[in-house]
Structure 1
Amino acid sequence: MTINLHRLLAGTALAALAALPAAAAEWDMPTPYGDSVFHTQNIMQFAEDVSAATEGDIEITVHSAGSLFAHPEIKDSVRRGLAPIGETLMSRLANEDPIFAIDSIPFLASSYEEARGLWDASRPIVEEKLAAQGLTLLFAVPWPGQSLYTQEPVESSADLEGASFRAYNAATERLAQLMGAVPTQIETGDIPTAFATGRVDAMITSPSTGVSSQAWDFTSYYTDTQAWLPKNMVIVNTGMFDALPEDQRTALLEAAEAAETRGWEMSEAETESQIATLEENGMTVAQPSETLSQEMSEIGETMTQEWLEEAGDAGQGVIDAYRSAE
């Protein structure tokens, strides 16, 4: 009798547990940038969309400004399952595989239209490279294009001959060399001081960084080269993604698709508003001259060929797909 009673109670308890709804997935999401940055704002909207679409079954808490994991740690934290989902700059992974640097080759894609074409051509192999590490790409959004800031107008690369040019990675160092300038490593926070003390005479960066560093205090000309449009990626741990019910996976992918579309629109709006702010503060905004455009195109071809030497056949396949669709 006692045994039967225990069995009855155990069976009742199991039935009750089975009747309970599955526990909601509570996902922490590290991101590198502050809440005022449009990338973060887009991701916060994405998190809200996921919660609404899954009726609260997936709740994503965004930890911005590197508050959970520092930027260099985010990709590996997602790969190891320490965080289910996260955001990182794609080109930060270039030391793992040159494919991840394709959107940071100067003058390969110098507009939003070209950047979109390059992303369409490169996305499949980026997804493949991430999949090999147990990561699934959800979406990617570009920063505004990188453009020239100088104290004098630049009509050709000859105007930069011998100038001290801010560099912050291998690509910008090589770009400076090809433009006849002298590369000087300067971190973003040190830009105003570097110009004020004469350590640098020119730089290439986004209009967003130009505004945040108040570039009008130390430069007068903004040449809208849009040399490259680097992207941030949002990635998810594949094992944790695959463990979700099918309807939740679908909801996550649909929210990601919407976030990518919205993010590209936000990036373009950011470009326009930040360039307007540069103008409002007295900077002269100009399009590249015909001569400078031609020189930039040649530099882009040189740096593309140098990249292909590292990227090999896989890289050539992406470039061929990109150019055939132009």
Structure 2
Amino acid sequence: MKFTTVAAALVLMTTAADAQTTWQMHINFPAGNFDTQNAMKFADAVKEETNGEVVIEVMAGGSLGLKGPEVLGAVRDGIVPIAHYHLDTAVGDEPFFAIQGLPYLTRGFDDAAKLNALAKPTFDKIAERNNQKILYSVFWPGAQLYTSEPVEAVSDLSALKIRTANKSSTDFLADVGAAPVLMPWADALVALASGGLDGIATSSTSGVDGKFWEFMGAVNTISYVNPTAVVAVNLDAFNALSAENQQIIMDIAARMEPELRSVAATEDTVRLKELGEQGMAVSAPSEAFATALEEAARKQWDAFAESGGPEARPVLDAYLAERK
């Protein structure tokens, strides 16, 4: 009798273990980052609502060894079952993804949401073509302009050496007369400390993380881009789940997405306040400055309409009509 009971217990344990699916999620940001925290909240909800049948382990800080441009392909090929990545990093493989990173196309979180709603069908089609499904997306705090002295007009940007993180930002700032320098984050902090840079274009979160007040005195909230980050799952891994658990995960993603997006908006407000409390002069662009920046940005919009694929022009035009 005792043997039978133990044997039965072992069978139940084995069955439970076999039923559990564990996914390791790549994310490039550290555990304390707001979007890593978002991913952890999502993972907790998935574990709870699937009764532990699906467990997502959030591997923070890029601990799985992937670099940004590699992540789309890594999810596609099943190297990782699930990942968080910025669409910007996959533009080399999928040009349409560039739409969410076009300078001054979005002017804040509300604009980013409008653009995403129109672009989402194409994003989803691209994801499926790459053997994955986008579960949810988050718009990151806008890229602000940090400088030693306040920048109030395009003329103030003349020849300023400003660090940028991607080609789009580099081209944009060059078009308004600055002297942008494309370089990794770690190198940028060294260049700031040594006087090799006059400024940096990045988010309020990065401004606080980098303690920019130690090097610069002003930040203009031009918010010229709100990059989109997604969490996407490999389709083979997703389809291997029971239909019930697939639906549970999709329902969780749809339910939590507005909350996760609001975290980013709150993050931006809190960090900008912190920058001001640390002594930086925080200002918004004047109408004339904003208009001049947008005029310069339109060059990239037009280029994207030609290079972003058949959906590029229709989605761009629909968004611009709605944005007004």
**Would you call these one fold, judging by a TM-score over 0.5?**
yes
Matches within 5 A, 1:1-326: 20=15, 23-72=19-68, 73-326=70-323
Alpha-carbon distance in structure 2 between the residues aligned to 1:270 and 1:112: 12
Distance 2:146 2:167 in 1: 19
Instruction: Report the AA paired with residue 30 of structure 1.
Output: H
Q: Aligned partners of 1:189, 1:20: CA distance in 2, in Å?
A: 48
Shift, 1:324, TM fit = 3.1
AA of the residue aligned to 1:50 = V
Q: CA deviation at 1:195?
A: 2.5
Distance in 1 (alpha carbons) for counterparts of 2:309 and 2:76: 26
1:197-223 alpha-carbon deviations (Å, 9 max, x no partner): 332212211001111111111111111
Q: Which blocks of at least 5 consecutive residues in structure 1 are unaligned?
A: 1-15
Q: In structure 2, what residue type is equivalent to 1:275?
A: L
* Contact 2:306/2:313, CA 8 A, preserved across alignment: no
3-state SS of paired residue (1:138): strand
SS at structure 2 position matched to 1:65: helix
Greater mean deviation of Cα atoms: 314-323 or 282-291 = 314-323
What secondary structure, in the 3-state scheme, does the structure 1 residue paired with 2:62 have?
coil
Aligned amino acid, residue 318 of structure 2 = A
In the alignment, residue 33 of structure 1 is paired with which amino acid? F
Instruction: Please give the root-mean-square deviation of Cα atoms over the aligned residues, in Å.
Output: 1.9
In structure 2, what is the Cα distance between the partners aligned to 1:153 and 1:301?
25
Q: What are structure 2's unaligned runs of at least 5 residues?
A: 1-10
Asked if the contact 2:192/2:198 (under 8 Å) is kept, the reply is: yes
Q: Does 69-78 or 244-253 show the bigger shift?
A: 69-78
Q: Deviations over 1:114-144 (max 9, x none)?
A: 0100111111101101111111111111210
Q: 1:303 to 1:191 in 2, by over 3 A?
A: same
CA contact (8 A) 2:161 2:180 kept: yes
Q: Shift of residue 188 of structure 1?
A: 1.2
Moved more, 205-214 or 190-199: 190-199
Check 1:158–1:240 CA distance in 2 against 1; reply closer, same or farther (3 A cut).
Answer: same
Q: Which amino acid aligns with 1:92?
A: T
Task: Give the Cα separation in 1 of the matches to 2:109 and 2:22.
Answer: 35
2-side partners of 1:43 and 1:302: how far apart? 35
| Counterpart-to-counterpart distance in 2, 1:71 and 1:234 | 15
- Indicate the structure (1 or 2) with the bigger Cα radius of gyration: 1
| Secondary structure at 1:131 match in 2 | helix
| Shift in Å, 1:20 | 5.0
For residues 35-70 of structure 1, the C-alpha deviation after alignment (integer angstroms, 9 at most, x for no partner) is 000111111111110111111111111111111232
- Give the conservation status (yes or no) of the 8 Å contact 2:146–2:201: yes
Cα displacement (A) at 1:280: 0.7
Q: Percent identity?
A: 29
